[in-house]
Amino acid sequence: MEKHFIMNNRPIGIFDSGLGGLTAVMALRKLMPEENIVYFADSARVPYGSKSRAELLVMARQDLDFVASLSAKAVIAACGTVSSNAADILESYPLPVTGVLKPGIEAMARTPGSAPLGIIATAASIKSGVFRRELEKAAPGRQIVALPCPEFVPLIESGRTAPDDPALLQAVERALAPARAAGVSALLLGCTHYGIIRESIQAYMGNGVELVSAADCAAEESCRRLRSLGLTGGGGECRCYTSGPEEEFSAAASALLGFELHAEHVPPMKI
């Protein structure tokens, strides 16, 4: 019984290239407030969306190994770029790992009607073609508009997230104009960073367009898996680690999460 208790109290590991995965942290805390969470922001190597697939395969393994070293009982790969480029590594890892690709696609496939469906993600995610292929299989007959948004993550990481920020508004218009012109009925936020600028995206696309958060969907799927495996329990603690400047990340993360958080620095990993 004691071993079972200790196993359940181990944290859930969540990782991303920077601030984006904190959207998954927020979603999971709402669903499972009692769970302990360890979060790793690989800020020294952000953005992941500009990396090659070969680099991403190595980085995915490194990120998984790091959160696993923190005694994680399960992992959320809160990164659309990793989820779309390193699915085999996530699925074969010796811990329950939930990516953001499949849960987001499944939610999009449930969107009613026949109007086009949109996907926005990093350049590497869109280049992989995985998001498009999986949505075409899940929602046959629907037109798919898949758009890279390379400007979004750098803007978010630099703090340009206010809904009225001119640079952000211009970047949103440049990236999403084809989706609006196509008349999409739903838009998948395939990069977890994009949830941070959800208000700006919604304002541009209009209230009639449903925004589907891949981060929220991954948190819901992870919650279901943990409960089915009997791996629930903890004290509600949240610890953060970053490979970038810890003070800068701590301030941004605290503002986003709504409580004070002090990230610990870890040496940047080399590919």
Q: Which residues are catalytic?
A: 79, 191
Q: Is 48 exposed, middle or buried (0-12, 13-18, 19+ CB in 10 A)?
A: buried
SS3 147: strand
Dihedral sign of CA atoms 158, 250, 26, 61 in order: positive
Whether the bond between 112 and the residue before it is cis, its omega within 30 degrees of 0, is no
Burial class (CB in 10 A: 0-12, 13-18, 19+), 131: buried
The answer for residues whose C-beta is within 8 angstroms of residue 151's C-beta and 6 or more apart is 171, 174, 175
Rounded to 5°, angle at Cα 222 from 221 and 225 = 90
**Sign of the CA dihedral running 77, 81, 84, 87:** negative
- Phi, psi for 187 (deg, rounded to 5): -135, 120
Count Cα neighbours of 154 within 13 Å in the Cβ-side half-sphere.
8
Distance CA 130, CA 84 (A): 6
For residues 25 and 133, what is the distance between their CA atoms, to the nearest angstrom?
28
User: Which residue has 């480029």 as its token pair?
Assistant: 85
